[in-house]
């Protein structure tokens, strides 16, 4: 059948995941995988996107107007922080004086990252006590003076943090409005839109977000151009790290929300492909293995602070354990040492099965008959194959035990292109589930994701009723979801926690509400 004669499928979804080793694409019709394809990511990411997406469109006999949405996950922003490259200098306005002055912004950052990002800080009057009382009133003149100095220094990325702004964000909003008088085109990040309670960690997250502002604009423009080059007119959505989506415009404003979205996509894909909502997931890629816990079909979120590039943050992140073990991992000393270094996207040049000179886990898996790749004759006489496979299993099993929430036995869903490096039918006391299309679970997870929003705030119940506080938290989460691209009528609550804070006066309680909704304009629920 020719492409021109293809029956219209107006609800096709194109899911793409850009990893460090491979870029994966899938074409989905509902929950059915019509086509999938992998290409090496290489140095030019947009080329990889066009190649992978173009291949699945061709295989699926689809035309551009049959695709109603493109969902893309990327590691670009995480890698920029880890590599200390392509980051903006950030000026920090902290509204807290005379409190908090003993510990200035970025005090606990790695020195090499601080040198790249630090654009100076300003400790200004403002901030709140836990009960909403002002520490001190905003001084608009000093905010304006700080903004003028930032402009004169030539910085155009700013992070604004106020003590207890998740309780009341008015000071951050007012400071932004004042600063824009001198910095009309600056990329300004308000900490309450990203982080949770905890000043330094929330401030760190806001600074990282501001540091990525220019890169985010360039990368999202490139992604949009790649989609245009394919002739697609469907809107582009970007994966968040809680298993939901946001519009490309939202991603430009909040690039940190993409951190760890790749493993999250894999976990959501694993849930859909296996039909299991509660399970352990091991996503074995080309460079790393990411292990996490599925609860009700979504990854468990980290309860504590999470380090990104050596920086402590407290915004939503999946609770993951990452091993330097993948299909491209280098094997040494007869299998005693695996990784953490990997040949990455150079697997087809350096692995033995492709005529290279580097022994990788893929070579071991091919030699054992667990993977069909390259020329098996090149690895027919490898030593220590079984010992290496056993060592890989030990590493993964130890990680699974660290993630397991209790002694209860849970199935282990195995996904990722490197999954064949693990043999057997059970591990860590649980049955191994190898779902079909598991090698592209990441792209599938991106394609079926919904749009999400979250509120995490402390309320003083002395001034409002519990019912009013709960309603305010729900409204804030719904507003965030709609801003990120959700259809307002479809938004529903999927998680709600209430924690009374008895150690604080004022009858304080912490409310956390998470919501998800369908994509705007589709009328189609694409993942539950």
Question: Residue 407 corresponds to which tokens in the numbers above?
Answer: 């002694």
Cis peptide before 153 (omega within 30 of 0): no
Q: Report which of residues 263 and 131 the model is more confident about.
A: 263
Strand arrangement of the beta sheet that strand 118-125 belongs to:
118-125, 90-97, 157-162, 187-190
First to last CA, the chain: 34
Position 62 pLDDT exceeds 60: yes
Q: Report which of residues 5 and 97 the model is more confident about.
A: 97
The three-state secondary structure class of 298 is: strand
Position 453 pLDDT exceeds 80: yes
Cis peptide before 340 (omega within 30 of 0): yes
The answer to whether residues 12 and 67 touch, using CB atoms and an 8 Å cutoff, is: yes
Name the percent of the chain lying above pLDDT 90: 39
Q: CA of 151: how far to CAs of 48, 94, 143, 172, in Å?
A: 38, 17, 12, 19
**Residue position matching structure tokens 């306005």:** 93
Report DSSP state, residue 132.
Answer: S
Q: What is the pLDDT of residues 320-349, one digit of tens each?
A: 888 888 888 999 888 888 888 888 778 888
Q: What is the 3-state secondary structure (H, E, C) of 21-54?
A: CEEEEEEEECCEEEEEEEEECCCCHHHHHHHHHH
Q: Report which of residues 117 and 452 the model is more confident about.
A: 117
Question: Exposed, middle or buried: residue 116 (CB in 10 Å: 0-12, 13-18, 19+)?
Answer: middle
pLDDT at 506: 66
Q: What is the pLDDT of residues 125-171, one digit of tens each?
A: 998 887 678 899 999 999 999 999 999 999 999 999 999 887 788 99
Structure confidence at residue 1 as a pLDDT band (50, 70, 90): very low
Calculate the average pLDDT of the chain. Answer: 86
Nearest alpha-carbon partner for 400 in 302, 338, 322: 322
pLDDT at 214: 94
According to DSSP H, which parts of 154-282 are helical? 170-179, 199-211, 213-229, 248-253, 261-274
Secondary structure element (H or E) that encloses residue 478, with its range:
helix 466-483
Average pLDDT in the 240-264 region?
A: 86
The answer to whether residues 239 and 268 touch, using CB atoms and an 8 Å cutoff, is: no
CA atoms within 13 A on the CB side of 403: 30
Position 7 pLDDT exceeds 70: no
Task: Please provide the CATH number assigned to the domain covering 88-211.
Answer: 3.40.50
pTM over 0.85: no
Q: Report which of residues 196 and 326 the model is more confident about.
A: 326
Question: Residue 431 corresponds to which tokens in the numbers above?
Answer: 């049955």
Position 391 pLDDT exceeds 80: yes
């Amino acid at each position: 059948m020719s492409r021109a004669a293809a029956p219209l499928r107006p609800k096709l979804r194109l899911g793409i995941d850009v990893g460090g080793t491979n870029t994966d694409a899938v074409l989905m019709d509902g929950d059915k995988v019509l086509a999938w394809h992998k290409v090496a990511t290489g140095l030019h990411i947009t080329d990889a996107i066009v190649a992978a997406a173009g291949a699945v469109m061709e295989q699926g006999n689809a035309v551009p107007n049959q695709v109603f949405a493109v969902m893309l996950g990327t590691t670009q922003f995480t890698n920029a922080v880890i590599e200390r490259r392509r980051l903006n200098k950030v000026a920090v306005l902290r509204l807290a004086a005379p409190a908090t002055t003993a510990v200035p912004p970025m005090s606990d950052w790695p020195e090499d990252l601080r040198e790249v990002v630090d654009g100076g800080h300003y400790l200004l009057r403002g901030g709140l006590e836990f009960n909403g009382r002002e520490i001190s009133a905003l001084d608009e003149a000093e905010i304006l003076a700080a903004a003028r100095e930032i402009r004169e220094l030539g910085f155009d990325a700013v992070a604004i943090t106020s003590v207890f702004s998740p309780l009341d964000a008015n000071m951050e909003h007012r400071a932004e409005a004042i600063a824009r008088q001198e910095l009309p085109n600056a990329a300004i990040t308000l900490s309450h839109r990203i982080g949770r309670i905890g000043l330094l960690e929330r401030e760190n997250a806001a600074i990282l977000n501001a540091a990525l502002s220019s890169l985010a604009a360039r990368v999202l423009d490139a992604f949009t151009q790649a989609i245009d080059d394919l002739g697609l007119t469907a809107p582009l959505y970007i994966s968040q790290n809680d298993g939901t989506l946001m519009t490309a415009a939202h991603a430009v404003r909040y690039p940190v929300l993409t951190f760890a979205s790749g493993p999250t996509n894999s976990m959501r894909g694993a849930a859909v492909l296996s039909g299991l909502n509660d399970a352990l997931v091991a996503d074995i890629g080309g460079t790393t293995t990411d292990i996490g816990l599925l609860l009700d079909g979504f990854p468990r979120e980290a309860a504590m602070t999470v380090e990104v590039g050596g920086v402590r943050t407290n915004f939503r992140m999946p609770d993951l354990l990452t091993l330097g073990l993948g299909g491209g991992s280098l094997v040494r000393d007869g299998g005693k040492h695996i990784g953490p270094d990997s040949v990455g996207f150079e697997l087809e040049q350096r692995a033995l099965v492709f005529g290279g000179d580097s022994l990788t886990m893929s070579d071991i898996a091919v030699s054992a008959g667990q993977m069909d790749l390259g020329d098996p004759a090149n690895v027919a006489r490898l030593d220590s194959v079984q010992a290496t496979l056993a060592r890989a299993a030990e590493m993964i099993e130890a990680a699974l035990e660290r993630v397991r929430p209790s002694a209860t036995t849970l199935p282990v869903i195995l996904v990722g292109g490197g999954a064949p490096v693990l043999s057997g039918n059970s591990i860590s006391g649980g049955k191994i589930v190898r779902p079909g299309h598991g090698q592209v679970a990441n792209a599938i997870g991106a394609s079926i994701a919904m749009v999400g929003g979250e509120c995490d705030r402390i309320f003083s119940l002395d001034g409002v009723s519990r019912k009013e506080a709960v309603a305010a938290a729900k409204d804030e989460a719904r507003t965030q979801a709609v801003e990120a691209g959700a259809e307002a009528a479809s938004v529903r609550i999927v998680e709600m926690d209430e924690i009374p804070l008895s150690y604080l006066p004022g009858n304080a309680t912490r409310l956390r509400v998470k919501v998800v909704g369908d994509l705007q304009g589709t009328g189609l629920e694409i993942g539950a």
